[in-house]
Chain A
């Protein structure tokens, strides 16, 4: 299993990845900038995500909204920002590839002359509304902010969320935005993948023509900050919710680091599907929770494994916590069953294959090639990535649980209905959200 590709690096440092697939007469263009909220500084958060908005508002040679010409050509397009990277993508009919490259290259090379105060103010208002919609007005929506702020110290770049803090967004000035762009949005900090109905030589010639005139910007030094907790933390947050929910997170290794795959498998065997250990106990047998989930959130310079469960009416978060920690203890002592290991392998193989069904969009082959290229420096990492899951054993999974799922690496967050602080886990203190 692999994605065939060719890779070329232009003189200005832009990585170009090409993958041929003629199943559908479409091409995915996927451009990663290796910049995310991790590259922001305290007091200046939300920049990378704000840029994702500004990049659709026009550039020097096409100073209007980017959606109009691309949608008119039959493209689907969007972008996304996380802590580690920003991506921009179009899926276009094959005949519109050049249009997509024209526009992507114009906003890489010529954005700032078109970036006015008016556009900036409008998109800041849109982002503040995005924040209201997805965080402030959504039940449990502020929990992720509280959890990140507790897991990572104020000077660690995972301390804040990509959407940014309100005060920072309101205070940001246009010249700061310009400086941020010049530092991070240039060929030497980017990788472009084309997947689909292309002739690789012709496609490379097009990419070269449009991008090679853009100068490389300053070298971006990797961000390296270690995360550590000062012992276990217990927090509460009140919100407009009817049922209390408990979040437990542990600091874990970074993406692709040793034992990251094991922790991914642990999250699955704990709470993925009705056969998982916590679903069976909390929801199916004891019926003290309405739902449970788990994920290993692996990021470029660190990760956290998070469990979340919502209390059924009449049950206390402390009951949920007891079962959740009990299952962690059992896993640490006994490790997974051989059945769970087998299941984890076939699920990994299936999930990897399912990801290859599309050329692009959110996910798909173009995004996968870029992920491996940007984070591992090797678009061919697919097989080695899968091998991490196939190589996991009962012993290595048990060891990962023992090493990482310890009280000293843990934050417990109770989200309770407004004013019902007594429903939080005992000895919790108020969480910080900004």
Chain B
């Protein structure tokens, strides 16, 4: 074979990837049971999704959904928290919980031979948690300490302040952790009530992926989740537009060598018809290494280790945001460049055919690698369950992204990004950057304190 270095070899189109079939059934208590066969390695992942997250925190009790989820592994039946974790450790299990605004999940990954036992432990946590007062006091204390520590982390400070600026009192206006005052006012009875009323089988889906049979998992789930009952009320629609915040905010971090930036606005919901066009547009704007904003701030100007933008699609309208950490002296310049890039992609410098083709190819050609492990497949199926997506969602994804045109992507960006509503937040050395920020034309920066949110 002769190597030709005068040009890059063409990539051949590989064989298409087919998303595995999800087998579905439902238990008498309402719990959906989904399984996917994936027998490449003897590993099984089970995820229990409950379609309630931090957006269901009652006003004044921000953080309740998250602490409730965190309390589930603190004992069940006759088993203490330690005994529960001892049982998981004896299986060599990898156990996790995670929460977003719209959902909460428990997940367990084990060798196939322990799949039933792993599932039974997750079921005991979800259906019959002890929710004891003493455990609650300890868990809450740890979360309060964690909030103290988060004040040291610029990215965490920025995330907490930014959702507040964008959403105010809207259900999306706080991070799942909540705040010191809301946690301090919480009791174990709040947790018990949230578990009983919101974390119910009627809105839950068990997703098991691996070397397993549907009927077997359904039978195991029937036994393990049998005593779990209840039906949460439907979620209220709450899509009023939050009050517009001022344009520029600063949380001072004296002496910081970098400024942590967030630039964004409330944008599109998961069910927007522009979903695929926005995903493609974001690739061009800031969704990959070769995006406009990363190439500008990192590869052209060397101001940062990396910049990223994302539309966070949720049940209600989610945030669009740019995240970047830039050297202190380059703060104002990075903000100006970023705002220019966001404004430009809406029309002044529309998405070109070549840019779109690159973004679409990056999204579609490598699609198969998102479905390699049982956990990846289970998390993908979880998106279907969380947002009521059609069963053929993954099969349709590639053709639908490929159908987006450059004009459509530009138009979608124009519809869902509004430069006049973009809010900029800086966590950085105010003394060093203040005069530069004032010259940005975004008005006098509003100074926030890290302890107020």
Q: Is B336 an interface residue (CB 8 A)?
A: no
Q: Is B3 an interface residue (CB 8 A)?
A: yes
Segment with Cβ contacts to A, from B7-15, B311-319, B439-447: B7-15
Contact A62 B152 (CB under 8 A): no
Q: Is B86 an interface residue (CB 8 A)?
A: yes
Contact A349 B111 (CB under 8 A): yes
Residue-wise, chain B 109-151 has the 8 Å CB interface mask toward A (1 for contact) of: 1110000000000000000000000000010011001101101
Q: Is B373 an interface residue (CB 8 A)?
A: yes
Contacts of A209 in B (CB 8 A): 1-3
Contact B366 A91 (CB under 8 A): yes
Contact B41 A94 (CB under 8 A): no
Chain A, 346-368, CB within 8 A of any chain B CB: 346-351, 353-354, 356-359
A220 vs B9: C-alpha distance when bound (angstroms)? 33
- What's the minimum C-beta distance from A351 to chain B, rounded to whole angstroms? 7
Residue-wise, chain A 68-101 has the 8 Å CB interface mask toward B (1 for contact) of: 1101111110000000000000011111101100
Q: Is A378 an interface residue (CB 8 A)?
A: no
Contact B303 A129 (CB under 8 A): yes
Q: Is B5 an interface residue (CB 8 A)?
A: yes
Q: Is B42 an interface residue (CB 8 A)?
A: yes
Contact B15 A94 (CB under 8 A): yes
Contact A98 B109 (CB under 8 A): no
Measured CB to CB, the nearest residue on chain B to A74 is: B365
- Say which residue of A67, A69, A91 sits within 8 Å of B289 (CB atoms): A67
Contacts of B9 in A (CB 8 A): 98-99, 102
- Say which residue of A130, A206, A210, A241 sits within 8 Å of B152 (CB atoms): A241
Contact A139 B152 (CB under 8 A): yes
Contact B258 A132 (CB under 8 A): yes
A329 vs B89: C-alpha distance when bound (angstroms)? 24
Interface size on A, residues (CB 8 A): 80
Most B Cβ at <10 Å: residue of A24, A75, A122, A241 = A24
Contact B369 A76 (CB under 8 A): yes
Contacts of A134 in B (CB 8 A): 305
Q: Is B153 an interface residue (CB 8 A)?
A: yes
- Say which residue of B41, B90, B361 sits within 8 Å of A356 (CB atoms): B41
Contacts of B59 in A (CB 8 A): none
- Say which residue of B89, B138, B153, B303 sits within 8 Å of A273 (CB atoms): B89
Contacts of B14 in A (CB 8 A): 25-26, 93-96, 197
Chain A, 42-73, CB within 8 A of any chain B CB: 61-62, 65, 67-69, 71-73
Contact A95 B12 (CB under 8 A): yes
Chain B, 48-62, CB within 8 A of any chain A CB: none
Contacts of B299 in A (CB 8 A): 65, 122, 126
Q: Is A232 an interface residue (CB 8 A)?
A: no
A110 vs B366: C-alpha distance when bound (angstroms)? 28
The chain B residues found within 8 Å of chain A, CB to CB, are 1-3, 5-6, 8-17, 40-43, 81-82, 85-86, 88-94, 109-111, 138, 141-142, 145-146, 148-149, 151-154, 253, 255-258, 260, 288-290, 295, 298-300, 302-305, 325-327, 357-358, 361-362, 364-369, 371-375
Q: Please, could you name 30 A-B residue pairs with CB atoms under 8 Å apart, sorted by A?
A: A72-B362, A74-B361, A75-B366, A76-B366, A92-B366, A93-B13, A93-B368, A94-B14, A95-B12, A96-B12, A99-B11, A106-B5, A110-B5, A122-B300, A124-B302, A125-B303, A129-B326, A132-B257, A132-B327, A136-B257, A139-B152, A197-B14, A206-B1, A240-B253, A273-B89, A346-B91, A350-B110, A353-B41, A353-B43, A354-B43
